[in-house]
A and B are shown apart, each in its own frame.
Chain A
Amino acid sequence: MRNRPENRIDHRKFAALLTQSAQQLDEDIVSALNDRRSLALQKQRASEPAFSLIGIGHKAHDLLPHRPRQWLAAAIVLVAIVMGAAVFWNNIQERQNPDLAILTGDMPIDAYVDN
């Protein structure tokens, strides 16, 4: 029933009719409609979800360094983090298996061995 040809809306004709009607509107009405549209758009922006993937993308872009100095600072921070992680990892390894530290440290091996 719904798909009968006589019941179908021709979107092109509908759009043309709307355009024609809009051109016939008074300036006051057009201005009021524009105001309402702007207001509706502002409300929509305010009610945008705070957390969204697009939002994260924008924030990530803001956080990325843009100038050479910022890149240099970021590189220094990154190198410091990597070096810190390496030292931390070495310490963990040394605690787990301190043989190398015993064999190479400045404390004589006799100090660790029961006589």
Chain B
Amino acid sequence: MRTLLLAVFCFFAPLAGAESWNQLPPAEQAALAPIQTQWNTLPEKAQHNFRRLAQQYPKLTPDQKTRFSNRLATWASLTPEQRQAAREKYRAFSHIPKEEREKIKQQARQKQATRLQQPASAVPPVNARP
């Protein structure tokens, strides 16, 4: 009976309201470490989304894990509207023919490399609004 109650609790726990950083399971804490300082300021819905992403983290390849950790803080710092716009862009991008996508990826990588070579003061932050 106790096991059943625990199972029910574990099933419904993620559906409950916002959780503080300390309440997160260690595996999720490890995946979400780059946004630990922002965690308690994030809206409940965003926290839920990030937890879902963290649950996918163990399945990622080492390269994907590195990218995930590098980009997570930037992603969390965006406004919900900016994140939604990025999702729309991603969807539009995934409909482009593969060859064309590769060209765009190449250009984007070159652009990023150029940015990284510039001094930090000359680079506008990713979430800067016009």
Contact = CB atoms under 8 A, between A and B. Distances in A.
A101 B53 CA distance: 10
Overall SS of chain B's interface: helix
Interface in A101-115: 101-115
A95 interface: yes
B108 interface: yes
Contacts of B90: 98, 101-102, 112
A99 interface: yes
Contact of A106 (B89, B105, B130): B105
A66 B45 CA distance: 53
A53 to B, nearest CB: 39
A108 B111 CA distance: 10
Contact of B108 (A98, A100, A107, A115): A107
Interface string B102-125: 001100110110010000000010
Interface stretch (B6-14, B22-30, B79-87): B79-87
Most chain B CB within a 10 A radius of its CB, from A98, A105, A108: A108
A99 B105 contact: no
Categorize the interface residue count of chain A: 20 to 34
Contacts of A107: 93, 104-105, 108
Given A95-B91, A103-B71, A103-B72, A109 B126 contact: yes
A109 B87 CA distance: 11
B85 A99 contact: no
Interface of B: 49, 52-53, 56, 60, 64-65, 67-68, 71-72, 74-75, 78, 82-83, 85-87, 89-91, 93-94, 104-105, 108-109, 111-112, 115, 124, 126-128, 130
Interface of A: 95, 97-115
